[in-house]
Structure 1
């Protein structure tokens, strides 16, 4: 059995808030030095770093716009230099592709080419080329975890383009697992359902009955919390997850499994 290094490292994209923040905090609690990526909100990313440090962990922030290829390259460089500065070695153990664009026209009739292209740039192209750029420094036996979505198995008309991007990432997961498996690197997707981040909290405040509607469509009787997603990510990133690769773990609380009665 491969022995884990004393200090492991992780990059969590889009970890200034929400699910990404919960994942970053959980991996830091497991002893990893975490690169906290943000797109625009440097203050929120610093808050994530501060929370990790307050809890006794180690982290640093790095900003990059993943809608552009130059931004992806900047993130690769920033992570490598940040890891070297904080650990003395630019080696990565865990990559969590969490950052995602969800804003679009929604329904097929309302989508625009510009919105469509941005969705695929952030949600598909960026993770692809981030993996390409970081594979040379990803340790043998490392982990890649993609954050997907339950919308790939639930046909929601107003999330068509977004669901397509997450479907692409599921294909990426399976195929990449075969590509990098000889280096003992595992690749998996964790697919959340409705999760209580700032956007959902605001929606439930504006529509009080929404919480009941969401719970009514799930097997488990609570709205998902960011920590409910962070825990399976941490499992896949751990030594215990070493024999799981190329798969999608549904972390939706059993969203839309069918009629309860």
Structure 2
């Protein structure tokens, strides 16, 4: 397959740029994919298993006049990052990358006393190891002046939901990765930042949020703004960090929790 999409035909603050959004077909990832495409970027919509969701996201982007393509690869295992980039190169004819959004992640509801070693290792493999090696393997594709944006969590800074201790630990490690990698890549003009959502209304959280009116009200009460967040509100911040407007921001942790932290 040849290079996908003609960048010169698009307009917007990200026109002419190529972005990869991991987990880009659902939830926050879909919101980010659609927003970056609306801003003019050609977007690789990565997915691990839900091909239908990724293709629906690509179709929505294209119907709105944007450019996107699906990219499948499981994450967290040996060689997964290299395999993803090999497929990316094939689909783009080696055109390179400007924006990497490490959004793909998994969660757990198992509390400290019950989480298994296998589940713990899988959490770190997908949430922490995968972004590390995607960035490492992607450096030869990422152009100078590029952007790496990691999707963290408000739970990495506050014990709001201590039952999610292992998940929060993966995001805490991701924050350290963001901070230190920003120093490593600074000489190339590449910025590295984290965005930290709170409770967001997605297909992944829908069952919990909509279990009852009380469940929704309790989730909304976490935020100082008094409601549950939406994917587009995280996507707007990612879009800012992907743009030239954020050129003097790197190594930062951006609170996108609606004021949910103590």
Structure 2 length-normalised TM: 0.92
Unaligned 5+ runs, structure 2: 1-12
Distance in 1, Cα, partners of 2:168 & 2:30: 23
Which residue number in structure 1 is paired with residue 133 of structure 2?
A: 129
Specify the SS of the correspondent of 1:145.
strand
Tell me which residue corresponds to 1:103: 108
Contact 2:15/2:39, CA 8 A, preserved across alignment: no
Partner Cα separation in structure 1 for residue 222 and residue 81 of structure 2:
37
Deviation at 1:6, TM superposition (A): 5.3
Find 2:45's aligned residue among 32, 36, 42: 36
Q: RMSD of the alignment, in Å? A: 1.3
How many angstroms apart in 1 are the aligned matches of 2:137 and 2:187? 18
What is the CA–CA distance in structure 2 between the aligned matches of 1:166 and 1:75, rounded to whole Å? 22
**Structure 2 residue corresponding to 1:76, chosen from 77, 85, 94:** 85
Q: When you count helix as a share of all residues, which structure comes out higher?
A: 1
- Normalising by structure 1, report the TM-score: 0.92
C-alpha contact (below 8 Å) 1:15/1:24 kept by paired residues: yes
In structure 1, runs of 5+ residues without a counterpart are none
* Maintained 8 Å contact 1:7/1:32: yes
1:132-143 to structure 2, matched below 5 A, reads: 132-143=136-147
Q: What count of residue pairs does the alignment treat as equivalent?
A: 249
- 1:240 matched to 2:240? The reply is no
Match for residue 23 of structure 2? 14
Residues 99 and 215 of structure 1, relative CA distance in 2, 3 Å threshold: same
Deviation of the 1:186 alpha carbon: 0.1
Q: Give structure 1 regions of 4+ aligned residues with deviation exceeding 6 angstroms.
A: none
**Is it true that 1:56 corresponds to 2:65 in the alignment?**
yes
Structure 2 CA distance for partners of 1:5 and 1:233, relative to 1, 3 Å: closer
Mapping of residues 1-261 of structure 1, within 5 Å = 7-84=16-93, 89-103=94-108, 106-155=110-159, 156-257=161-262
